[in-house]
Amino acid sequence: MAWVSTAELAAAVSEGGGLGIIGSGQAPPEWLMEQVLKAKELTDKPFGVNVMLLSPHAENILRFLAEEKVSVVTTGAGNPGKYVNMLHDAGIKVIPVVSSVALAKRLERSGVDALIAEGMESGGHVGELTTMALVPQIVDAVTIPVIAAGGIYDGRSMAAVLMLGAQGVQMGTRFMCAAECTVHNRVKEMVIKSKDRDTVVTGRNTGHPVRVLKNKLARKFMELEEICTPGEELEKLGVGRLRLAMVEGDVEMGSVMAGQVSAMVSGIQPAGLIIRDVISGAEKIITDIYNGKVNLQQ
């Protein structure tokens, strides 16, 4: 959610009853510092920051976050094990995103507070397993709380992952079209127009597969991958493409990272309303089940 989940969206999510997360991606530390200070002005509620561990700025950003004492740090695209003690000493909860059971177990041993199990339905950097298969495997492998991500859009999907043993959900794509989200309007329009098969995973042979909405850039990647272009060349083509889409609004030559539930987003809604819709939808389904309205016996 780098360049998408800025201070405005994170604060609106926290104000709306969720835990807003600022995405830092590959942004320079100065940009993130500004965002954290802005979020503190916009809300008194707890919020967090996601640190993308492949970023050259990851370590500096983590040191800054320890000084600023944000409530929560989530991490993506790597193993944050060596930073856990520093963040805990600052009173920060550490919740890494994982896409495999092996890393989940390793991180539990490092003392992290919870895990986000993210299936390959999600946007951006993806693993190999779907949410449906990954979440119960991680729930069975660890004793710390598991938050499910990837493919969560509404009360139905939230109820489904709670059934799999998750204790909460992380949602990105639906919040791209939150009223408070500062992403470029052309990106919001593209998400709203998208259909079920409009996302694709590119970059598998760079070792960093990412799910994006299909556009000219994605098609270029697919062509180059077809002729086995070396990973380094593809990496070069990808530099700066996320910001180009999300901030500049170039939805043809930029990288429009979004999850498979993009197809379900049909309009702009305030973040607080999105949260209420998801929670009340899940509550209704679960109440119906416990009241016997869903009867599995013949």
Q: Using CB under 6 A as the criterion, which residues of the chain lie in contact with ligand TUI when the complex forms? A: 25, 52, 54, 76-79, 97-99, 103, 118, 124-125, 127, 208, 210, 257
CB of 76 or CB of 136, closer to ligand TUI: 76
How far apart (Å, rounded) are the C-alpha atoms in residues 219 and 143? 42
Q: Which residue is nearest to ligand TUI (CB)?
A: 124
CB of 158 to ligand TUI, least distance (A): 19
CB of 199 to ligand TUI, least distance (A): 13
CB of 208 to ligand TUI, least distance (A): 4
CB of 272 to ligand TUI, least distance (A): 25
CB of 102 or CB of 296, closer to ligand TUI: 102
CB of 79 or CB of 182, closer to ligand TUI: 79
CB of 43 or CB of 170, closer to ligand TUI: 170
CB of 91 to ligand TUI, least distance (A): 24
CB of 25 to ligand TUI, least distance (A): 6
CB of 14 or CB of 74, closer to ligand TUI: 74
CB of 50 or CB of 194, closer to ligand TUI: 50
What sign has the CA pseudo-torsion 66, 123, 210, 244?
negative
